[in-house]
Structure 1
Amino acid sequence: MSAALELDTVSPPAHVVSAFGLESGAPVPLDGGVFRYGDVVLSAAGDPARSGWSARVRETLAPAGFRVARPVRSSDGRYIISGWRADTHVEGRVQPRFDELVAASIRLHQALAGLARPRFLIGPVAVPLADSDVYLVADRASWEPDPSRYLAGAANWPGEAVLAEHQEQVLAMFRALTPLREPVSSPNQVVHGDCLETVVFHGSADPGVLDIVPYWRPAVWGTALVVVDALVWGDADPALPGRWAHLPEFPQLMLRALLFRLAVHLLHPRATEATGQRLGRAVDVVRSFL
């Protein structure tokens, strides 16, 4: 279990609350292991390199038509204390407003253009994979000419030598889709790889971005990933991809976004049969656009 998941089950320690200059009274628990103290929320930081990078970016990021959760520094200037981070509270919740979310992702990626590639996205990863590295390896598998070298250790569970039956089915989907890849020419930049879970809506207010999960891919890949995630997790209208197919190289970038999610399923130790079935539905929809 990752440090983030462990911290989700407990309230922030008193020394963390004090370090961020927050009230010592009882916090208001929100969804996802988040605790609100007035206008500030505390949450598990997860991987320190990625959380620190996100905080530095969100400190000055100004995407058009967005509310941004700004990092709150501790009394000694740090973003993370004992595995906890603090951010300004942004009112709202995740909602199935998928076309608005896709449009918002386009504006967000425009604001992220020009950022340097984060160092933690470069170089080899250790085995066994940490949770954050699962996504990095899955991303590479969806783009590299030979994905097998990234998926060779897909049985990433202690004591398990072969894939479960539902994993075999997902692997078959991945293998069937891989030959459909064609070259893309769109330039890479920093993109946000988890808009569905980190962009919130509140009435008619601008959407709020709570975090940035970086990848180094074409901007439209990040937008296509929103569409794929909406199909997989949000039971979105199968016509959703068609409304955004005019974006540059959208079908091919949507294919790679889907391959990425399939690879995550193959590599993640907590993947379930239910998730595989949801991915299968998205495969059917995406294939119709290729």
Structure 2
Amino acid sequence: MRVLRSAAAIGGTVAFVSSVEPPQHVISTFGLRDVDPSPLGADWDGGWRLGDVVLSPVADHARAAWSAKVRETLSVDGVRLARPVRSTDGRYVVSGWRADTFVAGEPEPRHDEVVSLSMRLHAATAQLERPRFLVQPPVAPWADVDVFVAADRAAWEAVPLRTARGAGAPEPLSSDGKTSLELVKQLATLRKPVESPDQLVHGDLFGTVLFSGSDAPGISDITPYWRPASWAAGVAVVDALSWGDADDGLVGRWDDLPEWPQMLLRALIFRLAVHALHPRSTSEAFPGLARTADLVRLIL
């Protein structure tokens, strides 16, 4: 049995967990034969390539099946989308694994292109309905998905982190986790009402868009949230500033997006809340968030 280990991160702040090689019965159920799995790392959520197909472990069955169904028919101008590969009996997910067509490329610091892709992608996803699982609150015992749900709500609810505390979220023990909570409270006082409509968006584009030379950028998955399109672009910018060595001018180059300062603010609160709540948050990620907080304050 081989195990994939990576130092990559989820959204830059959470340490990536090892992925065990897909079991043989999963490989067979997806109709794959006579090819050895090779690890792809965090770019594919710990996926393993088998020829032209990638098998990736899924953190949440409902979200994985939803993403596969959407990507099966979604068309986005100038984007290479990984298409789902169904099992021999028609399933999108088998024993905690999904299968997708391989899309060549790797993440690169082409941050403006990621934001541009975000807007094209969300023009296409604007017509999608809100899946039921996006209405569900976080519940104990906490899984990764519950942390991100609670952190997302923290950026929008009247009392930040009320949902998290109501669901029994533990208080952070690290000094940077505690500082993140304080920043969330401070930044929340700078929020103003916004009018941009919510829609289906991909809320984790940083580090997941795949570039291959002059080819159109690729996307291997969609991490769904029900928020304004400019918020999703804001998350990509916050991540790029915090962990992608993006230049400070990235903020100003996209200031024509709807309600941009407030969307950046909420994206920042979201990432700070993830950092405070997630048990695998790393202290190395916090200085980037603190730097981004200083930049965002300047435009409010």
User: How far off its partner does 1:153 sit?
Assistant: 7.0
Deviation track 1:166-217 (CA, whole Å, cap 9, x = no partner) reads 2221112111111100010011100100111321110000010110001001
- 1:198 is matched with which residue? 208
- 2:240 is matched with which residue? 230
Secondary structure of the 1:197 match is coil
Q: State yes or no: 1:142 paired with 2:152.
A: no
- 2:264 is matched with which residue? 254
Match of 2:285 among 275, 278, 282: 275
- 1:74 is matched with which residue? 87
Q: State yes or no: 1:243 paired with 2:256.
A: no
Q: Aligned pair in 2 of structure 1 residues 153, 181: CA closer, same or farther (>3 Å)?
A: same
Q: Aligned pair in 2 of structure 1 residues 270, 262: CA closer, same or farther (>3 Å)?
A: same
Q: State yes or no: 1:265 paired with 2:275.
A: yes
Give the alignment's Cα RMSD to 1 decimal: 1.9
Alignment of 1:26-65 (within 5 A): 26-32=36-42, 33-65=46-78
User: How far off its partner does 1:100 sit?
Assistant: 0.7
- 8 Å CA contact 1:224–1:257 kept in 2: the answer is yes
User: How far off its partner does 1:7 sit?
Assistant: 8.5
User: How far off its partner does 1:152 sit?
Assistant: 3.2
CA distance in 1, matches of 2:51, 2:276: 41
Secondary structure of the 2:293 match is helix
Length-normalised TM-score, structure 2: 0.90
Deviation track 1:20-45 (CA, whole Å, cap 9, x = no partner) reads 11123322222232211111111112
Q: Aligned pair in 2 of structure 1 residues 286, 232: CA closer, same or farther (>3 Å)?
A: same
Deviation track 1:245-287 (CA, whole Å, cap 9, x = no partner) reads 1111011011000000011111111112212222101101111
CA distance in 2, matches of 1:169, 1:154: 21
Unaligned runs of 5+ in 1: none
CA distance in 2, matches of 1:94, 1:118: 28
CA distance in 2, matches of 1:78, 1:216: 25
CA distance in 1, matches of 2:16, 2:253: 40
- 1:183 is matched with which residue? 193
User: How far off its partner does 1:151 sit?
Assistant: 4.4
- 2:12 is matched with which residue? none
- 1:130 is matched with which residue? 143
- 2:113 is matched with which residue? 100
CA distance in 2, matches of 1:124, 1:232: 28
Q: Aligned pair in 2 of structure 1 residues 220, 162: CA closer, same or farther (>3 Å)?
A: closer
Q: State yes or no: 1:86 paired with 2:131.
A: no
User: How far off its partner does 1:219 sit?
Assistant: 0.8
CA distance in 1, matches of 2:295, 2:103: 34
Amino acid at match of 1:118: P
User: How far off its partner does 1:6 sit?
Assistant: 10
- 8 Å CA contact 2:160–2:185 kept in 1: the answer is no
Count of aligned pairs = 283
Length-normalised TM-score, structure 1: 0.93
- 8 Å CA contact 1:14–1:24 kept in 2: the answer is no
CA distance in 1, matches of 2:16, 2:155: 30
User: How far off its partner does 1:76 sit?
Assistant: 0.1
Unaligned runs of 5+ in 2: 1-14
CA distance in 2, matches of 1:146, 1:162: 18
Amino acid at match of 1:60: T
Identity value in percent = 55
